[in-house]
Amino acid sequence: MKKVEEKDEKVLLDEIVEDSPSEESKKKIDEYEQQVAVQKSKKKKIWNLIFFIFNILIVGAIIVYNVFGEDFTSFGELQINGWAFLILILLFGLILYVDCLPISYLVKKACKRKRFGVSFKTTFCGRYYDAITPMATGGQPFQVTYLMSYNVPSSAALSIPIAKMFFMQLTWFFISFACLIFSFTNGGMYNTYVSIASYIGFICNFVVLFVNFFLAVSKSTGRKIVVRVLKLLQKMKIVKDYEKQYKKTTAYIEDYQNIMIQYMKSIKDFFFMFFTIALRTILIYTIPFVIYCMLVEVNFAYYGVFFIMGVLIDLAASFIPLPGGSGMSEISFNAMFALYFPGKVVWALLIYRFFTYYVYLLLGAGISTYDFVYGKRKYQWIRKRRELQSESIEFKQVQIQNFRSERALRRRKQATR
pLDDT mean by block of 10 residues, the chain; 417 residues: 42 44 57 56 63 70 66 79 94 93 86 83 82 68 79 76 82 89 73 77 78 66 66 65 68 65 74 91 94 92 91 83 70 85 87 89 84 70 63 65 72 71
Q: CA 278, 280, 284, 289 torsion: positive or negative? A: positive
Report whether 104 contacts 126 (CB < 8 A): no
Both ends of the chain: CA-CA distance in Å?
A: 39
Q: Tell me how many domains the chain contains.
A: 1
Rounded Cα distance, 223 and 246, in Å: 9
Residue 343, helix vs strand vs coil:
coil
Domain presence at residue 378: no
Closest CA to 371 of 127, 121, 36: 121
* CB-neighbour burial class of residue 395 (10 A; exposed 0-12, middle 13-18, buried 19+): exposed
Domain of 206 in residue numbering reads as 18-368
Residue 404 within a domain: no
Tens digits of per-residue pLDDT, 87-133? 999 999 999 999 999 888 888 887 777 888 888 888 888 887 777 77
| CA gap 369, 365 in Å, rounded | 6
pLDDT at 375: 65
- Whether 263 and 163 have beta carbons less than 8 Å apart is answered as yes
Which residues 6+ apart lie within 8 Å of 222 measured at CB? 214, 215, 216, 253, 257
Structural domain includes residue 8: no
Instruction: Give all strands (DSSP E) within 281-333, no chain letters.
Output: none
R_g of the chain computed on alpha carbons: 26
Q: Whole-angstrom Cα distance, residue 298 to residue 84?
A: 9
Given a contact cutoff of 8 angstroms between Cβ atoms, the answer to whether 286 and 92 are in contact is: no
Q: What is the dihedral sign for C-alpha 66, 69, 71, 76? A: positive
pLDDT digits (tens, 9 = 90+) for 4-58: 344 444 444 444 444 555 555 555 555 555 555 555 555 666 766 676 676 677 7
In a domain, 30, yes or no: yes
415 within a domain of the structure (yes/no): no
Residue 41 Cα distances to 48, 140, 253, 335, angstroms: 11, 17, 28, 36
Determine the Cα–Cα distance for residues 292 and 306; give it in Å rounded to an integer.
Answer: 9
Report pLDDT for 169: 83
pLDDT value at position 114?
82
Residues 6+ apart with CB under 8 A from 69: 343
For residues 197 and 263, give the distance between their C-alpha atoms in angstroms, rounded to a whole number: 34
Q: Indicate whether 300 belongs to any domain.
A: yes
